[in-house]
Amino acid sequence: MKFGKEFTTHLEDTLPEWRDKFLCYKPLKKFLKTFPTNPSDQHQPFEAVAPAALEGFEDQGNPPLAELQDWFIRILNEELDKFNDFYVDKEEEFVIRFQELKERIERVKEKSNNGRAFTSESEFSEEIMDIRRDFVAIHGEMVLLKNYSSLNFAGLVKILKKYDKRTGGLLRLPFTQLALRQPSFSTEPLTRLVRECEANLELLFPLEAEIIESTPPLQDKTNQQLNNHATITETPSNLGEDTEPGRRGKWGCNI
């Protein structure tokens, strides 16, 4: 499958409210087709190519190559800003939601330790399943955000490769290096958050047995459950320290 079709498929499968946050790959690809294939070919007609990122350019007639290049670079810088704003906002949201989920787990433990044990398995299961569902939901969204970063970076590299091939320029390497320093493509903190979320999901299973054990009517059942689970030690998270926006920059050049 060609990258353009694969990119479109991913857009169709992602959350609807995320779709306009992705790279405007198809419009940029169409825009590049209006570029002359060499500096002497300055009169290729411009075809209007939708999106907001290219708004207003259809009124420019047949601009020279240098103007097309400047316009292209400005669009890419705006795309980087779009990626960074969305990614950083979502990452900060995930850190907050994840911390709230861990606090809910602690409240469940505290309820048991203070002698306010659950009187039935159904009472406990309802509460712990709500927490588990929220963990699964945030885990899925975090994985989507990682895919968002990967797909945008792949699309950016593809577009830059097409630009260099079309114009004979050398924009791909320096702009790619710039992109890699952006928060939206620095996914190490998010990766650690995903792993910690997975560890807490595993923790919920022995936690269920641990808390039900304190309920006398369920003692025999929980003893059997406890024999099937190892003790999991929680470690404090410092992920909140990693969510400050990374180095941002814009590319400016005359090619």
Closest CA to 162 of 21, 20, 23, 32: 32
Given the structure tokens 């923790």, which residue do they identify? 203
Report pLDDT for 154. 97
Residues of the domain holding 64: 3-234
Q: How far apart are alpha carbons 154 and 222 in whole angstroms?
A: 49
Q: What is the reported pLDDT for 251?
A: 57
Q: d(Cα 7, Cα 17) in Å, to the nearest integer?
A: 16
In a domain, residue 245? The reply is no
Q: Tell whether 113 is covered by a domain.
A: yes
Q: Is residue 78 included in any domain, yes or no? A: yes
Flag whether 191 is in a domain.
yes
Answer whether 13's CB lies under 8 Å from 31's CB.
Answer: no
What is the per-residue pLDDT for 109?
Answer: 79
Displacement of CA 149 from its chain's centroid (Å): 5
Answer whether 68's CB lies under 8 Å from 57's CB: no
Asked if the structure places residue 199 within a domain, the reply is yes
Residue 253 in any domain: the answer is: no
Q: What does the pLDDT read at residue 62?
A: 66
What's the confidence (pLDDT) of residue 119? Answer: 58
Low-confidence ranges of the chain (pLDDT < 50): 40-51, 53, 209, 211-212, 215-246, 253-255
243 occurs within a structural domain? no
* Count of the separate structural domains present in the chain: 1
Token match 């390497």: residue?
173
Q: What is the pLDDT of residue 47?
A: 38
In one-letter notation, the amino acid at residue 130 is: D
Q: Is residue 239 part of a domain?
A: no
Residue where the block lists tokens 């304190």? 214
Residue 174 and residue 98: Cα distance in Å, rounded? 36
CA atoms within 13 A on the CB side of 92: 11
pTM to 2 decimals? 0.72
DSSP the chain: --HHHHHHHHHHHS-GGGGGGS--HHHHHHHHTTS-SSTT---PPPPP--SGGGTTGGGS-S--HHHHHHHHHHHHHHHHHHHHHHHHHHHHHHHHHHHHHHHHHHHHHHHHHTT---SSHHHHHHHHHHHHHHHHHHHHHHHHHHHHHHHHHHHHHHHHHHHHHHH----HHHHHHHHHTSGGG--HHHHHHHHHHHHHHHHHHHHHHHHHTTSGGGHHHHHHHHTT----------GGGG-S-----------
